[in-house]
Amino acid sequence: MPPTDYDLIIVGAGPAGSTTARFAASAGLRVLLIDKRQELGAPIQCSGAISGHGLAAAGIPPDPEFIHEAIYGFAIYNDRGDRTVHDYRQLKGDEYGPGPGKKPLGYVVDRRRFDRYLMTQAERAGVDVWLKTEGLGYRPRPDGSCTVSLLRYNQPIELTTRVVVGADGLQSQVGKWAGLQTHIKITELAGCLQFIVDGVETEGLLEIVTGHEWAPGGYAWVFPKGHGYAEIGLGVIATMTDKPARWHLDKFITQSFFRDRFAGSRILEVQGGGVPLAAPLRTQFADNMILVGDAARHVNPITGGGLHTAVAGGKIAADFLVGHLGDGLPLQGGALEAYQRAWLGAMGDKMWKLYGIKTGIFHNMDIGERDRQLYATMSSYFSPTSEFKKI
């Protein structure tokens, strides 16, 4: 293959793209990371909850630069307000807690600062970062490399690379450029809305409220945000309700068993976005191209969490590419399927299993039974003995 401008061009500098870029450049690859935004992570469309082991899996220290609040466990509620609590300060008090020699179980991060932190770490590892640069398309070339078309500060530009990494999020175009099936069924897309509020007490736990009454097809949440603030939000599936997420959030705040707790809350910010509660893409590669993060539907289909899977998946992608390019292996004709196999072995098989559990619950036509199953599944999912606790 003749020389190319870069070994990798990564489209999207969210958590998945920046992490892929950092590990690839640290191992010596020439990497360009682009993002169409001029300010990463803005507007915020994320509650920011990530486990400590999720950060550790991608070699990210829990830096105060991006942390809003430490988390010590979970409280899962059914529709009537009965709850199951897994508070690791009590369950494993010698390991988890606020004191010296102990650690939090996880964190609520500020996505604006988290994304910028990850991008900066990538840049310090040798990655070229271009903001305000949009990926428009790519073309595999007969010599085994490919050409990528970009729009940088509104100026068209073409570069050559060996591999394009699509880390361009939920509305990914990179997979479409290669003709992959990236369509999300409306029955599997949760519309999410959250308020950042003042005046709501929290206890260092991620609180999750299940039940069709409050969040049809999804769940509601109350997360601590630090400095006395909290996030109150929910996600709903449009085909399970004829009301918008805003209507359900108002109802949750004013009519649920938390109404007294929320009575004095003041809304400081409104955030929203879509979350795929879907299966991973069946094909996450094409000639000279792989997908990672939300773009590949690397999102936990039970919780909707995609931060851990984005950064852990970024490391898997980078490790694969470093080995594959280092060995001079082909990049076309299905050769990059090896990436998908590596990802399935490391994390994807468990995500497929979670997807099976989720569809089993929501195919149930009896709403009461579905509510009971979701509450039981969430309660066991977050327990210390959960087989999924590293996802």
Ligand X SMILES: Cc1cc2nc3c(=O)[nH]c(=O)nc-3n(C[C@H](O)[C@H](O)[C@H](O)COP(=O)(O)OP(=O)(O)OC[C@H]3O[C@@H](n4cnc5c(N)ncnc54)[C@H](O)[C@@H]3O)c2cc1C
Return residues touching ligand X (CB under 6 A). Answer: 11-17, 34-37, 40, 45-50, 134-135, 167-170, 173, 192, 194, 271-275, 293-295, 299, 305-308, 310
Assess contact for 40 and 130: CB atoms under 8 A: no
Closest to ligand X by CB, 15 or 216: 15
Give the amino acid at 385.
Answer: T
Q: How far is the CB of 108 from ligand X (least distance, A)?
A: 7
Give just the sign of the alpha carbon dihedral 92, 93, 97, 101.
negative
Closest to ligand X by CB, 189 or 336: 189
Residue nearest to ligand X (CB): 306
Q: How far is the CB of 94 from ligand X (least distance, A)?
A: 27
Q: How far is the CB of 36 from ligand X (least distance, A)?
A: 4
DSSP 341: H
N residues, the chain: 391
Q: How far is the CB of 207 from ligand X (least distance, A)?
A: 12
Q: How far is the CB of 135 from ligand X (least distance, A)?
A: 4
Using the CB atoms, write b or e for 269-281: b if 16+ within 10 Å: eebbbbbbbbbbb
Residue matched to tokens 């994320």: 46
Separation of alpha carbons 43 and 130, rounded Å: 19
Closest to ligand X by CB, 165 or 336: 165
| Contacts (Cβ under 8 Å, ≥6 apart) of 388 | 302, 350, 354, 381
Using the CB atoms, write b or e for 135-166: b if 16+ within 10 Å: beebebbeebbbbbebeeeeeeeebbbbbbbb
Closest to ligand X by CB, 118 or 374: 118
Give the amino acid at 184.
Answer: I
Residue matched to tokens 């409220």: 209
Q: Counting beta carbons within 10 angstroms of the beta carbon of residue 32, is it exposed (0 to 12), middle (13 to 18) or buried (19 or more)?
A: buried
Closest to ligand X by CB, 169 or 348: 169
Closest to ligand X by CB, 50 or 325: 50
Q: How far is the CB of 368 from ligand X (least distance, A)?
A: 28
Q: How far is the CB of 99 from ligand X (least distance, A)?
A: 26
Closest to ligand X by CB, 78 or 194: 194
